[in-house]
Structure 1
Amino acid sequence: MEGIFFYWVAWFFWIIAAFLIKKSSQYRDKLFFCILLAIILIPFNPTIAGNQVNLGLLFLLFVFLLQVNALRKLTGLYILISSFIVMLAYASFLLFELYDPIWVLFNRNWMVACALVYLCILLNSDKAQRFYTIVIGMIQGEFLYSIFVNKYSFPYPIGATAFLDALAVTLLVLYIWSLCETVTVYVGQQMNQHVRGKQKST
């Protein structure tokens, strides 16, 4: 069932925000309410300029752009440029899939996730900025692909369940990668402290 994976991942992140992130964190309350509101808005698909657009998708785009706007100008500009690259990559993937679907060797959502996460890691070293880049870039790519498809009179709802699943898988892969990075850094620090402790004792 398309769309169900998005809800699983959304509730997974909501649980993390509600119970695992420290209450003193500046991101906790924002993440908590934004995820909850996005889940509520997802079922609504108003028609804008002749296209069905997912309201939850517009909300996510607005929230992430607002977060980028709060950053330093150069940082925000770099994130927008990075998201533009992600947008082109995602739209290109959809176009290749449309014209020659045989090259999609395994589940499309995992192909999209692996490709975009790898690209995002190359573009950004900051973990939070990677999430901004992925979300903004994929949503913009969805709009770009819709514009192209509509030229050929094919109805294409923006932010359909297939896109939501692809977005959810991508965010989950990016989160797991970020978690692995954090664990690796922590283990490295503990090993260095252990080695230094041995050196001091000798």
Structure 2
Amino acid sequence: MDGSLFYWILWSLWVYLTFIMNKQHPLRFGMSACILVIIILSDVHFTVGGYQVLASGVFTLVLSYIILGKEKNGVLLYAIICSVIVTISYVTFRLFEIFDPVWIIFPKIWMMSIGLLFLGILLQNTLKRRLLIIICGTMHGEICYAFFLNRFQFSYPIGALPYLDICVLATMLLLVWSFLENAGTILQNQFRFPHKGKQKST
């Protein structure tokens, strides 16, 4: 069912941020509020130039623009280049899905999410920037894909629930990867393993 992963993952994240995460964390309230807004807007749509657009996709894209706008020029330029690479990869996958669907060997949502995971890991080295280029790149890809289909008189809703499933699953995979990358530091901070003293030589 389209949207099931989107709702399950986002509601789980919201519960974690609201009831489990450290109350003193500076990003806790902002992240939980953004997740609620995305869920609320997931069923809101409007029409622009003959294209049907879902409000949640536009909200996440604008939010990503605002966050990226605070970066330094060099970082911003590199993020734009990475976003274009993600866009091209996303659109290419969607077009191959139409013209040669036989190579889709397991569920499309997993193939695309894993592909986005690898792109994010290869192109950026922090979780925040990985998420930003994935969100910007895939949303730009949605726009390009809708434009392409419109040339052949096919309508395609930009940022619909199937897209949100892919985007949220890729985000979850990036969070898991980031946890594994920092697992050693996290465990050391949580459990405070004792250091063995040096043995004296006799």
Question: What is the TM-score normalised by the length of structure 2?
Answer: 0.90
Distance 2:31 2:66 in 1: 13
Alignment of 1:186-201 (within 5 A): 186=186, 197-198=195-196, 200-201=198-199
Structure 2 equivalent of residue 52 of structure 1:
52
Structure 2 equivalent of residue 64 of structure 1:
64
Structure 2 equivalent of residue 163 of structure 1:
163
Deviations 1:142-196 (A, max 9, x none): 1111111111111111112211111121111111111111214445899xx76xx
Distance 2:196 2:6 in 1: 48
Is the 8 Å Cα contact of residues 17 and 32 (structure 2) preserved in structure 1? yes
Question: Which deviates more, 102-111 or 128-137?
Answer: 128-137
Distance 1:134 1:17 in 2: 22
Deviations 1:108-162 (A, max 9, x none): 1110111111111011111111111111111111111111111111111111221
Structure 1 equivalent of residue 137 of structure 2:
137
Q: Which runs of 5+ in 1 are unaligned?
A: none
Is the 8 Å Cα contact of residues 64 and 136 (structure 2) preserved in structure 1? yes
Runs of 4+ in 1 over 6 A off after TM superposition: none
Distance 1:87 1:45 in 2: 22
Alignment of 1:83-162 (within 5 A): 83-162=83-162
Question: Which deviates more, 179-188 or 150-159?
Answer: 179-188
Tell me by how many angstroms 1:25 deviates.
Answer: 3.0
Q: Which runs of 5+ in 2 are unaligned?
A: none
Is the 8 Å Cα contact of residues 42 and 161 (structure 2) preserved in structure 1? no
Question: Which deviates more, 10-19 or 105-114?
Answer: 10-19
Q: State the secondary structure of the residue aligned to 1:70.
A: coil
Structure 2 equivalent of residue 179 of structure 1:
179
Tell me by how many angstroms 1:2 deviates.
Answer: 0.9
- Superposed CA RMSD: 2.2
